[in-house]
Amino acid sequence: MSNTINNKPHRRYNILTGEWILVSPHRTKRPWQGKKDQKSELQKVAYDPNCYLCPTNERASGDVNPDYKGTYSFTNDFAALLPDVEPEQYKEGLLQAETEMGICKVVCFSPNHALTLPLMEVEEITNVVKLWKEEYKSLGEKKGINHVQIFENKGAIMGCSNPHPHGQIWSQSSIPQEVVKKQEKQKEYWEANNSSLLQDYLKQELELKERILLENDHFVALMPYWAVWPYEAMIVPKEHYQDISQLNEKEEVAFAEIIKELTIMFDNLFETSFPYSSGIHQRPTDGGKHPEWHFHMSFYPPLLRSAEVKKFMVGYEMFANPQRDITAESAAETLRGLPKVHYSKK
């Protein structure tokens, strides 16, 4: 793309969803008188007797957590989906609804209350990856479960109700809309080119280098050309894998390494425990082979200029389409220039 269009208002196309985003790079020249936050202090309490996710503690349901030493998963006590819901449909005129069954689980990344992914050892994150694989496979094999969504909400600003390092997995009978959109675009490309949409995209990005954040033998972390959030990132395997169950042991470690390196980048940007929502999109578990799918993990962090300045989707973005001022290229350059060691270790 020419530098000329990079400096003008323009739209960028999201190849995975078919949607557009408005980019307004000239707006970065407007004056900003905000402050630079002081380095935030990280929590240091390894065990909190009042935390319902810490080992040996009683949860709100009355169940007691085992004295787990590594990763630990359990069925969510306040699940959004329930497994024993009888099929039922409602239709009256233009109104329609149907019941939805599913299983929701909580995944504790570590017994240590004070840790987050960038502060965990690679071996510990590898165990999280292994548990994600196990849960994807076991949940996906259950009757009526056609989609498994692995995700993490990090930080109170993202609605996380407990600071203990954890994520969630929601599995359900229907395939969610965001996944359907990505499936349709990947299938369309696969049938036209007999190749993976994301694998071909990755080749182009690796040639350009503009938006690449990190790379190892098996994975690439980059800022997508169509990124919506200021420092949005995506991790993509170099091999055309449909889901995480296909990763071998070396690839599990490589995945863990790049997750750690990327989340350190985030924390170092504003020297704070960087909030985000992350999630893995992969092929549905509806029994289809889905050769078009190429799994990937996306990170949507809301921070814009400091630890306290958040980007909100308001006005034009709520009624038209997403918009950003900082280009993906300049945001990627900023992240690449950060120290590789976590700011708390300096």
Where in the sequence numbering do the catalytic residues fall? 166
Nearest to 150 by CA among 130, 120, 121: 130
Three-state DSSP class for residue 296: strand
HSE-up (13 A, CA, CB side) for residue 299: 26
Q: At 225, phi and psi to the nearest 5?
A: -55, -35
**Regarding beta strands 147-154 and 276-281, do their DSSP bridges make them parallel or antiparallel, or are they unpaired?**
antiparallel
Whether the CA torsion 58, 153, 298, 194 is positive or negative: it is positive
What pairs with residue 58 in β-bridges?
64
Other beta carbons within 10 angstroms of residue 160's beta carbon come to: 16
Give the C-alpha separation, 129 to 126, whole Å. Answer: 5
Please answer whether residues 293 and 186 qualify as being in contact, where contact means their C-beta atoms are separated by less than 8 angstroms: yes
Give the C-alpha separation, 150 to 177, whole Å. Answer: 15
For 174, 175, 187, 199, 299, the CA distances from 180, given in Å and listed in that order, are 10, 7, 10, 19, 19
What pairs with residue 311 in β-bridges?
none
